[in-house]
Amino acid sequence: MPLWKIYHPVGAYTPGDKQAIAQALSDLYGRMMPRFYVGVIFQAVGADNFYIGGEPHARFVRIWVDHIARTFASDAARAGFFKKINQILAPWIADRGYDWEIHVDETPFDLWTIQGHFPPREGTEDEKRWMAENRASPRTHA
Amino acid sequence: MPLWKIYHPVGAYTPGDKQAIAQALSDLYGRMMPRFYVGVIFQAVGADNFYIGGEPHARFVRIWVDHIARTFASDAARAGFFKKINQILAPWIADRGYDWEIHVDETPFDLWTIQGHFPPREGTEDEKRWMAENRASPRTHA
Amino acid sequence: MPLWKIYHPVGAYTPGDKQAIAQALSDLYGRMMPRFYVGVIFQAVGADNFYIGGEPHARFVRIWVDHIARTFASDAARAGFFKKINQILAPWIADRGYDWEIHVDETPFDLWTIQGHFPPREGTEDEKRWMAENRASPRTHA
């Protein structure tokens, strides 16, 4: 559900860094939804392919996220989420002196399948099973 | 209109596979809209750049689609569409043992141009001409 | 705010071309918002990874944009924007014989941070400061 796309400078992250970022994000989302919902794709972008305000930028991390499974229930939840993810990412971004920008879109829950299955609604028995088994399976409830 | 972005494992698909997938999708959409609306971009992603639930995944196909020209008229149409595309893609994904996830967003029809033209509305004379000629051209109706 | 993703043929653009495109876009948006809001990412795509209507296309520029900071206030503003960007891009696309397609999505203003800050609303004192200083900084107003 969340699909995270992380554009980063060439050579910024080792595979270990990348897995640690993906783990930290999966730990956050995994409290509320099946952990395997969390997809993270990293893409290195050279400074001559990345411009901020018309200037090449060699130290920028640009993150773009699609949220599918959940929408924010309140303004406080929304603000808390961004505070949290900025904290989680700090060791790999702010603390290393990179600039960064993050934006999230919310896309329609009903236009989403995993392994060909429409994921179960939040809080259902089927979602609990997907969460416990950490994999997609056919619905057992309507 | 539909822009399909297909992230796939390195080496998963030959150019022939990729064209066959693009053809199958164009056959599906092309019954309802100009065939040249269908854009498909493939991008190979190494396992150390692709994480599901915090783990590197070497056999995952992640598809992200923007629908622009059409929205689903009914719940049945929506469910039928996803059933159809999962069937169409099966020979290249499920049948080869890959895991996969697909999500679709619907973006504003009015914020879209091809060759500098705003595409004609569904069912109009202009759209019929675009469909018959399989290319964009100036509007002849308001 | 606007994030521009430009998929282009391999070898289509020099770094100088790419910076000139990013500058021209930043000049346009920078009249209305902080110039550093304008992010542009270029990605070369080989013809065997890019299909239009099921056929590989070696001369296509596909642009996908997320607008975050602003939505169009009127239909005239929207049409004028697309006319303008198609004009701005012409020297690098139409005039070089490339085909092209552009679509824009509008994503939620409240789901966006830069350097960990939620950007100020349009027209506020904080936005004027961000614009004047061309960088993000903590809010001084609620």
| B·C CB contacts under 8 A | 94
Query: Across the interface, do B56 and A107 touch by the CB < 8 Å criterion?
Result: no
| d(CA C63, nearest CA chain A) in Å | 14
Query: What integer pLDDT is reported at residue A70 of this predicted model?
Result: 83
| d(CA A104, nearest CA chain B) in Å | 13
Q: Where are the domains of chain A?
A: 3-133
Which CATH number, 3.40.50.720, 3.30.429.10, 3.10.450.50, 1.10.3720.10, labels domain C3-115?
3.30.429.10
The vertex-B41 CA angle with C64 and B82, nearest 5°, equals 95
Q: Which of B98, B6, B95 is nearest to B44 (CA)?
A: B6
Interface test with A, best of B10, B52, B55 (most A CBs within 10 A): B52
Query: Across the interface, do C53 and B26 touch by the CB < 8 Å criterion?
Result: yes
- Percentage of chain B exceeding pLDDT 70: 99
Read off the pLDDT of residues C31-65 as tens digits, 9 standing for 90 and up.
Answer: 999 999 999 999 999 999 999 999 999 999 999 99
> Which residue from A64, A79, A100 is facing C115, i.e. has the nearest CB?
A100
Read off the pLDDT of residues C57-106 as tens digits, 9 standing for 90 and up.
Answer: 999 999 999 999 788 999 999 999 999 999 999 999 999 999 999 999 99
Average pLDDT for chain A: 96
CA–CA gap between residue A2 and residue A22 (Å, rounded):
11
- Cβ atoms of residues A52 and C39 within 8 Å: yes
Average pLDDT for chain B: 96
CA–CA gap between residue B97 and residue C131 (Å, rounded):
51
Contact partners for chain A, using 3 or more CB pairs closer than 8 A, are B, C
pLDDT over 80 at C13, yes or no: yes
Burial-class residue B37 by CB neighbours within 10 Å (0-12, 13-18, 19+): buried
Task: Say whether residue A43 is in contact with chain B using an 8 A CB cutoff.
Answer: yes
Fold of A3-133: Macrophage Migration Inhibitory Factor (3.30.429)
CA–CA gap between residue A104 and residue C108 (Å, rounded):
7
Task: Say whether residue C22 is in contact with chain A using an 8 A CB cutoff.
Answer: yes
Strand partners, C104: C65
